Structure 1
Amino acid sequence: MNIFKHPLLTLLFCLAWQAAIAQTQTYTFDLRQTEVPVISGHLKLGTNRNPKGETLDANSLYFTKNGKPWYPVMGEIHFSRVPREQWEESILKMKAAGIDVIASYIFWIYHEEEEGTFDWSGNNDLRAFLELCRKHDVFFFSRIGPWAHGEVRNGGFPDWVVQRGNTRRNDPAYLASVQKFYNEIGRQLSGLYFKDGGPVIGAQLENEFRFNSQAGLEHMLTLKKMAVEAGIDVPFYSATGWPASNQKQDELIPVWGAYPEAPWDKKTTKLALSQNYLFGSLRNDPAIGSDLLGSHEQQTDFKGYRYPYATAEMGGGNQITYHRRPIIEAPDVTALTYVKVGSGANLMGYYMFHGGSNPIGKNTTLQESKATKYPNDYPIISYDFLSPLGEWGQTRPSYHDYRVIHTFLNEFGDRLVQYGTAFPDNMPEKPNNTDLLRMAVRTNGTSGFVFISNFQRQLTMPDIQNVQLELKLKEGVLRFPEQPITVKSGVQMVLPFNMDLDGLNLQYATAQPLCRIAAAEPLYVFFAPEGVAATYNLDKTAIRAVEAKGGSVSEKVNAWQVAAEKPGTNCLVSVTLKDGKKVNILTLTHQQALDAWKAEVFGAERLFISNQDLMFSNNGIRVQSTANPDITVKAYPAIKSLESSSGKIHSTTDGIFASYKLKVPAHKPEVKVKEVKDISPYLNKGQQLPPDDRNSTVNTPASPGPQYQTNLAPVEGARYYELQVPNNILKGLNDAFIKVDYLGDTGAAYANGKLIADNFYSGLPMTIGVRRFRNLLPGNKLLLQVVPLTDERQIYFEEGIREPLKGRAVAELKAVQVVPQYVVELKQRR
């Protein structure tokens, strides 16, 4: 029947069509003028070719490796804040998360606490750390200061430098001391520069230094000249772009950042919603450095920019202060990555990616505090930062979320960095806008990626329904998806359009690209974002045949449309091209993507799925499993003759994956707890640690700072608990984590009266890794001191944490749990 011959039916049809259109939220992008002019050859950097003929370089848009576009992913770990015996494990964990450049401050006070006496031994052995980076094929970016900040005493300056004064300027006496420090760094790096075939590719000068004035720029260029004279010859020199940087000079690449919170802010109330979660041209988080620098400008005009948009301080978490104790969860940090990559960033650099512990110096403690005329009090030891890899090397949910986006950047970043950025016609301008979906497109005007983030920290975003995109390309208009999608609250995703898959044109997908596995029949791995049905529109032009497992295929005018109805390990689309080549597309679930690991191991590129932590080296696979003795690792392609000294491996299949399982002996270690009234037997009766030199004149009853000390000392109202640790607690284990669930102001753990771990209460348990202290526990006893939290303390807590504690001084141990960590080595039998 032709409805248009019947007026009533025609009217009903038109009304229904108009209603459908009205319900659809169409976001329009004009992508016809998105190409970015590229300037090259103007940056005055260091030697960028190694003995193998490999090169590193940068132009005004992106970085290059061996002449090809490169998307670096950089993560910060401070080697001197992590025990030397855990360095290799930490490097492997970072690499497994997609980090290919490791950054670290080289804190001056750690290495020359006393003038003229340099210490590069033990946990300060920079050279040994770099040798491990070289062993595992990870680049290193040195942040050489001399002023670093990093929440270190004096910002990293030794006390004797501060006492002489005239720092951070072209003062001859100050520069003479800096030159000696740089010369020492140069000797440590000698033979390990990229030009030597080593891992060291960069040097960041100073930190948070204003160099848009003539004096400021002269000082920065003086520091660079001094570094070069010290032998620090690297492909890249950088400096933080905030609070203001000269962006016409060609000597230093400005780097930017964004944090989920600002624990250094002087307020003890909830902060305003952050603009960092909005796509746009904002690169310098106005909150960074506000504690020391005050408010500073927000630069949004980057026309004529001469450097790749690079970040060095994307907050992988936040270090809590005494007066502000936020809880940082995975979306708080990963949403920042989606937003900044979508907004044009071409290097992701995280501060911190791995937490650590402050050492205690010969003469003083080494943390930032009000005693050193800084605005904040930090824990004496803990620098956990709530980062993806915590103080004890433990993984957090953000580690796995990051691995998803990093795998994409590692795999497809060479395309992404060449793309410009475009924003929709209708985009939110304020962080409290919940009506419009937040998104951006990276594109060359023909192909690209749509970045979406429906997240704002401290604001519940609604599900955004009936979303459809209209992309005005150089050749025509692309509207997708055919069936509008719902973007659920909190979800981030990347959707491709006109993406080349080895000769197959993917017109668009409502699935996120993860990686490509090289093989005679290449496998492209995607996953279905939470709440979104995965569909693929495949351009018919080059296709001979399409087959789908776990889904259906339908024919459209110019495309084959595949619905991946059952994402999983066997949801496979096989496409035969007209030239006879085959391309395969696998669609995983979102959870499987979080459990996915790509690595080249046992002679081939492989994709692994495991909810345990994997590390890869030339010798095999190391599996760390926290709490669970049942080990399961799935691999594609299958691995022949896989074995382990930990037990017999049972092999099965799961879709296209081989599944390997083994069970190690279960351990249930326990710690005996008893409350202690008399602490005199637990006091430090040996050599005393330097006390924390708190300045009582800057503290008040409302904000007294931490009351515990480096050497166990009584605190009014505090309660004490002995933790008896079993002798064999680590038998059959890689580590064991003591989880201390307490209520109070601070928690501090002592061995033989000396402080070994501390915590500012925020509502999360205090964690202590046993492996680090297995040789320090006299009689295997720890003493826990819990200092009471009182109403007069002016401290910011997340909602719901402090309210139940009001009206009383609280110091209470609720529970102690020990979580075992197992380790298994998987090797291929020869």
Structure 2
Amino acid sequence: MKELLHQNKIVYKLDQKDKEIRQGKLSGQGGENPQGEAFDFTNYYMTHNGQPFIPVVGEFHFSRFAYLQWEEELLKMKAGGVNIIATYVFWNFHEEEEGVFNWSGNLNLRHFVDLCSKHDLPLIIRIGPFCHGEVRNGGLPDWIFNYPFEVRSNDEGYLHLATRLYREIARQLKGCYFQEGGPIIAVQLENEYMHCGAALDAWGYKSGKYITIGRDGKEHLAELRRIAEEAGIQPLFFTVTAWGGAAVPEEGTLPMLAGYAYTPWIPNQPPSREYLFRDLHLCPAEPVDYDTLDYPAAYCELAGGMQVSYNARPYVPASSVEAMTVVKLANGSNLVGYYMYHGGSNPIGRKTFMNEQALPKITYDYQSPLGEFGRIGESYDRIRSIAMFLDAFGERLAPMGCVIPEGQQELAPENTEELRWSVRQREGRGFVFLNNFQDHIPMPEREVSLVLETAKGLVRFPAEGTFKLGSGTAAIFPFNLNIYGIEIISATVQPLTLLEHEHTAVFYAHEGVAPEYVIAKATCSKLTAAGATVVEGEEQWVIRPLAGREHEVQLIHQNGQVVRLLTLTRKEALQAYRLNLWGQERLVISSAHLYEQKGQLICTSEGNGQMKVSLFPAPDHVSASSYADISNMVEGVFSTYNLKVEEMNVPMEIHYPTEQTAVLQLSGEWPQQVEDIFLHIDYEGDVAAAFIRNVMLTDHIQYGHTWNIGLKNSRLDLLKDTLNLSITPVRKGTTQGYVNQAYIERFEGTEIGKFEHIRAVPHYRAVLYKK
């Protein structure tokens, strides 16, 4: 067994006052739609229908994805726990040529908004004029720099063009605001104003020339708001990016924060402070231009990944996204927004590529939870498990204040000795947050014992001895948690979700942490827990259950109510969904990835024609696609369906004209059980690109991981054309420069560029539905 490097035994008195919840500067800025659904704010959290609410926001740029797949991707986001969508409107995508606006195809903003409305997904639209988003000129059209005025200013000429842009956007959004029955709840004007500019690509500079960060401060944002409202852009509230001292309006705007750890703009980046505990409401991580006590702490750019560039090629592990989310929640963030949640592809302009310099021309995969072609990444499952927790327990968590133990706020990121932990609590109830992840530094496994002296008595994690906190693990443990009248004094399992109609609470056990519940006997007259170890004390039951979907603990409340505890394994929790299926909220665990559409459960599986789907509560009379074999069995409270579709051996011919080029002939004829085919390409080299008919489909910068290309949107082209791949080799050697009538560079060394492996992996699809 691996030697435990660190022991942390902590006793802490939890005697802080409860967080003061009061009216804030955004209180009353919300509103109600015709169906009676409402949003509003206190100084500390957002409310939904009058109740505390911690939303999960996912950034998805409609103009960077094929419009025929928007609906499917939005449903995947919704199944992943996202309950608010955010998107940019890039000016130069829509008005590349002056006076010629394009709102069609992948640029059809109104269609995207209507799809969000159709699927009850509130929407935040970021309309610029300046957006950044790693597009050419930060989203400003090339032609605007021909005019004799300063962009991002209150110059009359610039504001005239901004007014025209806003009127065009307003025309697309007419009737789509929340109070009118539409999905749009908020609009962001500008981006990182008075903080950050973007590369000035229109003038062809290779480096060092940037668009101004702005100079008119809050006055410019106020002028943009006036123009927007006069144009008819009138959301419930506005938002603003507020980090780095960026300008923040005095009233009516929600300041939003960012958290990035793998930052290519910092050379030789040291470990970041993003994984340390602090109270963001009292003590923001960096200087800001507003009183933090008047607004909820809200993140619109929590790193869902990072885009690689020619100059910097970071890899963002899924555990980093999960750990940062846990830490920000602990630190009082009451809105969690991911940039990016869904990657995409830059459109090719009429005159040029639309990428920012030093970045790939097409791909904006961003290593995000959902990738450029709808790729489902590991972080998608991590975020979904936290989103399920926020959906079920966010109403309780949102009013809880932060308790940062002494010394935690002063920890340096390089400190691997001390246990990183924090608490959010109210009236003696709350959650313990633990983080054993740090970017750029491995953290040691720990042996932990934590004792809290709360207003409701002593709480121990675990009841006796210690538990093991693995390297890279971030965890949330509850204390004095009331579940349907049953008092859980402490638990070394993470809350996942609640099924109200079944009086069932679902938790999961982290790897290496023995699951345990300590239950107050005053609220529980009897229990049954097959296979569990149960220790009865005078005032409490200590239950150490087996983890797995087939096991359950039944608790009998003093009033006779039966309450069920399910303890999943970590693997099962990362395969779990909470979906509204066939008129009821159900817990679904599956080896496939899932989403719900028109009363059907859509199941997709990468490279495996066999899919396992477990549902609780069990539905009646479930059928599958005609092309799928189905059988079912009972596993504890779950009804499990085994689906099997015929697997496809993808016909693919590969010809290598040179070591650095490949020509692929693939069939565009796919059987109905094949949803998509992804190419997995491993190569040595610097960068690579894929073409169909000499048009670039996508490109890739080598950062040590497989290049994935989804072919669904190109399958008709593949009926008659080849897919051509090319590699630009990486150089290992030296380059000498000298002048001989012209500047000349000569390279001495070796150039490496070769394909190692190209695989075509089918993604299968099957559907479950009720007869």
- Same fold at TM > 0.5: yes
Give, in angstroms, the shift of residue 77 of structure 1: 0.6
Contact 1:28 1:426 in 2 (8 A): no
> Cα offset for 1:611?
1.8
Letter in 1 for 2:666: V
Q: 1:33 to 1:47 in 2, by over 3 A?
A: closer
- The equivalent of 1:334 in structure 2 is 322
Q: Does 1:761 align with 2:742?
A: no
- Aligned with residue 810 of structure 1, among 743, 748, 752: 752
Structure-2 change in CA distance of 1:482 and 1:669 (3 Å): same
Distance 2:293 2:36 in 1: 30
Map residues 422-437 of structure 1 onto 2, 5 A cutoff: 422-427=403-408, 429-437=411-419
Structure 1 residues 52-61 or 774-783, which shifts more?
774-783
Distance in 2, matches of 1:93 and 1:623, equals 11
1:275 & 1:607 partners in 2: Cα distance?
Answer: 36
* Partners of 2:547 and 2:567 within 8 A in 1: yes
Tell me, yes or no, if the aligned pair for 2:667 and 2:718 is still in contact at 8 Å.
no
Per the TM alignment, residue 54 of structure 1 is displaced from its structure 2 partner at its CA by: 1.8
Residue of 565, 568, 574 corresponding to 1:588: 568
Supply the AA of the counterpart residue of 1:614. Answer: L
Residue number among 442, 448, 451 corresponding to 2:430 in the alignment: 448
Matching residue of 1:789: 730
Cα-Cα RMSD: 2.3
- Equivalence map 1:728-807=2 (5 Å): 728-729=669-670, 732-777=673-718, 779-791=720-732
CA contact (8 A) 2:21 2:399 kept: no
The answer as to 2:554 corresponding to 1:574 is yes
Does residue 1:42 correspond to 2:25, yes or no? yes
Are 2:410 and 1:412 aligned? no
Paired letter, 1:209: Y
Cα 1:778–1:575 shift into 2, 3 Å: closer
Query: 1:442-462: CA deviations, max 9, x gaps?
Result: 111410011111011221111
Decide whether the 8 Å contact of 2:509 with 2:569 is kept in 1. Answer: yes
Tell me the residue number matched to 2:175: 191
CA contact (8 A) 1:245 1:254 kept: no
Q: What is the CA–CA distance in structure 1 between the aligned matches of 2:131 and 2:718, rounded to whole Å?
A: 34
Q: Contact between 1:62 and 1:69, CA under 8 Å: does it hold in 2?
A: yes
Which residue in the other structure is 1:607 paired with? 587
Mapped to 2, the partners of 1:533 and 1:500 lie a distance apart of 22
**Does the 8 Å contact 2:281/2:296 carry over to 1?**
no
Q: Quick check: 2:524–2:556 contact (8 Å CA) kept in 1?
A: yes
1:510 equivalent among 485, 492, 504: 492
Moved more, 550-559 or 108-117: 550-559
Counterpart of 1:562 in structure 2 is: 543
- Are 1:193 and 1:234, in contact at CA under 8 Å, matched by a contact in 2? yes
Q: Is the 8 A contact 1:574 1:584 kept in 2?
A: yes
Q: Which residue of 2 aligns with 1:114?
A: 97
Q: How big is the shift at 1:477?
A: 4.1
Aligned match of 1:538 in 516, 519, 527?
519
User: Map of 1:47-126 to 2, 5 A cutoff?
Assistant: 48-126=31-109
For 1:263, the aligned partner's letter is P
Q: Distance in 2 between the 1:47 and 1:511 partners?
A: 36
Counterpart of 1:478 in structure 2 is: 459
Q: Secondary structure at the match of 1:260?
A: coil
Q: Structure 1 residue 35: deviation in Å?
A: 2.0
- The question of 1:204 aligning with 2:188 is answered yes
* C-alpha deviation, 1:472, in angstroms: 3.4
* Structure 1 residue aligned with 2:359: 378
Aligned position for 2:200:
none
TM-superposed CA distance for 1:64, in Å, is 0.4
Structure 2 SS opposite 1:643: strand
CA shift at 1:807, angstroms? 5.8
CA displacement at 1:275 relative to structure 2: 1.0
Contact 1:259 1:285 in 2 (8 A): no
Aligned to 1:616: 596
How far, CA to CA, are the matches of 1:661 and 1:112 in structure 2? 50
Letter in 2 for 1:725: L
2:157 paired residue number: 173
Distance 1:44 1:204, change over 3 A: farther
Task: Determine the structure 2 residue equivalent to 1:702.
Answer: none
Residues 301 and 125 (structure 1 numbering): CA distance in 2 closer, same or farther, change over 3 Å? closer
Report the Cα distance in structure 2 between the residues aligned to 1:311 and 1:88, rounded to whole angstroms: 25
TM superposition shift of 1:34:
4.1
Change (3 A) 1:302 1:540: farther
CA contact (8 A) 2:677 2:710 kept: yes
SS at match of 1:541: helix
Q: Cα–Cα, structure 1 residues 609 and 194, in superposed 2: closer, same or farther, change >3 Å?
A: same
Matched, 1:720 2:661: yes
Query: Per-residue deviation at 1:639?
Result: 1.3
Q: Percent identity?
A: 38
Cα distance in 2 for partners of 1:161, 1:29 equals 60
Q: Could you tell me whether the CA contact under 8 Å between 2:676 and 2:763 is conserved in 1?
A: yes
C-alpha distance in 1 between matches for 2:282 and 2:340: 17
Q: Counterpart of 1:314? A: 302
Alignment of 1:702-713 (within 5 A): none
* 1:618 to 1:757, Cα distance in 2 relative to 1, 3 A: same
Residue 445 (structure 2) pairs with residue 459 (structure 1):
no
* SS of equivalent to 1:433: coil
User: Matched residue of 1:325: which SS?
Assistant: coil
Q: CA deviation at 1:658?
A: 0.3
Q: Which amino acid aligns with 1:626?
A: E
Residue 710 of structure 1 corresponds to none
Q: Residue deviations 1:25-79, cap 9 Å, x none?
A: 3334443224222232632775611112221111210000111111110000100
Q: Secondary structure, in 3 states, of the residue corresponding to 2:731?
A: coil
Q: Report the CA distance between 1:322 and its aligned residue.
A: 0.5
Shift of 1:400: 0.7
Q: Aligned residue for 2:227? A: 226
Q: 2-side partners of 1:90 and 1:46: how far apart?
A: 31
User: TM-score by structure 2 length?
Assistant: 0.91
3-state SS of paired residue (2:229): helix
Count of residue correspondences = 733
Indicate conservation of the 8 Å contact 2:153/2:214, yes or no.
Answer: no
39-48 or 161-170, larger mean C-alpha shift? 39-48
After superposing the two structures, state which structure 1 stretch, 315-324 or 612-621, moved more: 612-621
Q: Which stretch shifts more, 426-435 or 190-199? A: 426-435
Following superposition, the deviation at residue 278 of structure 1 comes to 1.1
Give me the whole-angstrom Cα distance separating, in 1, the residues matched to 2:291 and 2:427. Answer: 19
Q: State the alpha-carbon separation in 2 of the partners of residues 200 and 559 from structure 1.
A: 49
Of 762, 766, 770, which aligns to 1:820?
Answer: 762
Q: Deviations over 1:266-295 (max 9, x none)?
A: x3xx42111111112469999xxxxxxxxx
Shift of the 30–163 alpha-carbon distance from structure 1 to 2, 3 Å rule, reads farther
Within 2, Cα distance between the matches of 1:28 and 1:229?
Answer: 58
Deviations 1:542-601 (A, max 9, x none): 22211112312221232111111x211122111111112111101111111011111111
Amino acid at match of 2:750: R
1:638-677 to structure 2, matched below 5 A, reads: 638-645=618-625, 646-676=627-657
TM-score, reference length from structure 1: 0.85
Structure 1 residues 826 and 793 mapped into 2: Cα distance closer, same or farther (>3 Å)? farther
Kindly tell me: are residues 818 and 312 of structure 1, through their superposed partners in 2, closer, same or farther at Cα, counting changes over 3 Å?
Answer: same
| Other structure's SS at 1:243 match | helix
| 1:252–1:792 Cα change, 3 Å | farther
CA separation of 1:731 and 1:816: change in aligned 2, threshold 3 A: farther
Distance 1:514 1:523 in 2: 11
Structure 2 counterpart of 1:275:
273
Q: Is the 8 A contact 2:463 2:542 kept in 1?
A: no
1:72/1:209 CA distance change after superposition, 3 Å? same
- Following the alignment from structure 2 to structure 1, what is the Cα–Cα distance between the partners of residues 13 and 709? 53
The answer (yes or no) to whether the contact 1:43–1:251 under 8 Å persists in 2 is yes
Whether the aligned pair in 1 keeps the contact of 2:690 and 2:698 (CA below 8 Å) is yes
Cα drift, residue 768 of structure 1: 1.4
Measured after TM superposition, the shift of residue 779 of structure 1 is 3.2
Residues 792, 163 of structure 1: alpha-carbon distance in 2 compared, 3 angstrom cutoff: farther
Q: Check whether the contact 1:496–1:509 (CA below 8 A) recurs between aligned residues.
A: yes
* Secondary structure of 1:534 counterpart: coil
Residue in structure 2 matching 1:365, options 350, 353, 364: 353
